Amino acid sequence: MYAFNYHRAKTVADALKLYKKADDPKFLAGGHTLIPTLKQRLARPSDLIDISGIATLKGVKVSKTAVTIGALTPHVEVATSSAVKKAIPALAGLAEEIGDPQVRHRGTMGGSVANSDPAADYPAAVLGLGATIETNARKIEADKFFKGVFETALKDGEILTKISFPVPEKAGYMRFDQPASRFALVGVFVAKFKGGVRVAVTGAGPCAFRVPAMEKALSAKFAPEALEGITVPADDLNSDIHGSAEYRAHLITVMAKRAVAAAK
Amino acid sequence: MPAVSMTVNGKKVSADVEPRTLLVHYLREHLGLTGTHVGCDTSQCGACVVHINGESVKSCTVLAAQAEGAKVTTIEGLADGDKLHPMQEAFREHHALQCGFCTPGMVMSAIDLVKKNKNPSEKEIREWLSGNLCRCTGYHNIVKAIAAAAQTMRG
């Protein structure tokens, strides 16, 4: 790790003030992506602003229509919340499968979403449920949030504060693990709302994306067989030693069918 | 250099450390608590697992500064004098180690599991150990030891 200055922020306002004063700062939440990145010297921030102690950014609230999760809520809290399990079981199930128990104790939802790792799980739920991302400055729709590899609509110095997930009639998430890291080689989140179905894919492209052809078919008939023959072109998909773009394209349809079958 | 203070194994400690000091390095190099190991250094192997405020975490992925004011427990803090913690005793009894490198992390992780789930099934134990890698044992006796310790700890 390169050297950096460390600051602890007590409030969002405090964090923003510290951020403005520093040369090339980064916010530190659970640190389970940022610290490994720093250890590999892939980033060299001048200052780390630790926001993990800001109490107002933690916690889960569930109403009849939405599950709202504070950005600093660790995965374990979403995974084990009986209210989340009841309202959106697929969301609790997704959180339960991130990393391993120790990673889930520290890693945060906001950190994962703000980072937009191409193989992260949470972006599939954010996009699949059509969530609303709140920051210190504004609200951003999920459809306008993910921009590319590690790239989001967040501006420099903007803090993700919470995410509100609409409660669907049913939803399912299925992930095909990259066998070594257990990150998503392909993960598909399917959500059925009164007004239609949303399908979001992670692991396969530069960032999470929707599949309109599948949404249309599932809106007409919410069953795995409705997806028969519907594929995503391999052209823009990721290709690496773990799987070719064509393999990932094939997996999208397979995992989408399984997600529909598992939806509840 | 900023000061950090925390309670480690019941003892109040404080030191001036560089901000980039990882908790595991603070424990090993500043406090001489070398029972906590560094295996992979990439947040995967779990040899560095300690408890922060009772919860198992990978101390290679936490800055010492982030543990300010926390209660930290390491493998050295488990035994009561010469009397081993039931989890340590079960690992010995069931021959749940060969080279022993992963063992401190395994034990710390397993104690957290049993705290959360007093009667874990074999499947639950194996799933919980997804963050702890052992390259010697094939996990079989580790799983047995954890199940046995859970029984002892239930009383």
Q: CATH classification of B3-77 is 3.40.50.300, yes or no? A: no
My answer on whether A120 and A143 are in the same domain is: yes
Range of the domain at A219: 170-262
Asked if A35 and B61 come within 8 Å (Cβ–Cβ), the reply is yes
Q: What CATH number does residue A211 fall under? A: 3.30.390.50
pLDDT per residue over A93-129, tens digit each?
999 999 999 999 999 999 999 999 999 999 999 999 9
Residue that has been written with the tokens 């892939």 in this structure: A42
Domain B86-154 in the same topology as domain B3-77: no
| R_g of chain A, CA atoms, integer Å | 18
Q: Which of B20, B46, B58 sits opposite A4 (nearest CB)?
A: B20
pLDDT at res. B155: 84
Distance, first Cα to last Cα, chain B: 47
Q: Which of A4, A52, A99 sits opposite B66 (nearest CB)?
A: A52
My answer on whether A86 and A132 are in the same domain is: yes
Is A58 contained in some domain?
A: no
pLDDT per residue over A11-66, tens digit each?
999 999 999 999 999 999 999 999 999 999 999 999 999 999 999 999 999 999 99
* Mean pLDDT of all residues in A165-170: 98
My answer on whether A113 and A141 are in the same domain is: yes
Q: What CATH number does residue A133 fall under? A: 3.30.465.10
Is A35 contained in some domain?
A: yes
- The ipTM (two decimal places) reads 0.96
pLDDT at res. A123: 98
Chain B: residue nearest A102 by CA? B57
pLDDT at res. A234: 97
β-strand partners of A174: A188
To the nearest whole number, what is the mean pLDDT of chain A?
A: 97
My answer on whether A84 and A153 are in the same domain is: yes
Q: Which positions ≥6 away from A145 have C-beta within 8 Å?
A: A113, A126, A127, A133, A152, A153
Domain ranges of chain B: 3-77, 86-154
My answer on whether A136 and A219 are in the same domain is: no
DSSP A108: B
Q: How far, in Å, CA of A101 to CA of A88, rounded?
A: 21
Task: Give the architecture-level CATH label for domain B86-154.
Answer: Orthogonal Bundle (1.10)
My answer on whether A77 and A31 are in the same domain is: no
Name residues of chain B where pLDDT drops below 70. none
Q: Which of A5, A36, A105 sits opposite B19 (nearest CB)?
A: A5
Is A59 contained in some domain?
A: no
Q: How many domains does chain A have?
A: 3
In chain A, which residues have their Cβ closer than 8 Å to the Cβ of B73? none
B61 part of contact set with chain A, CB < 8 Å: yes
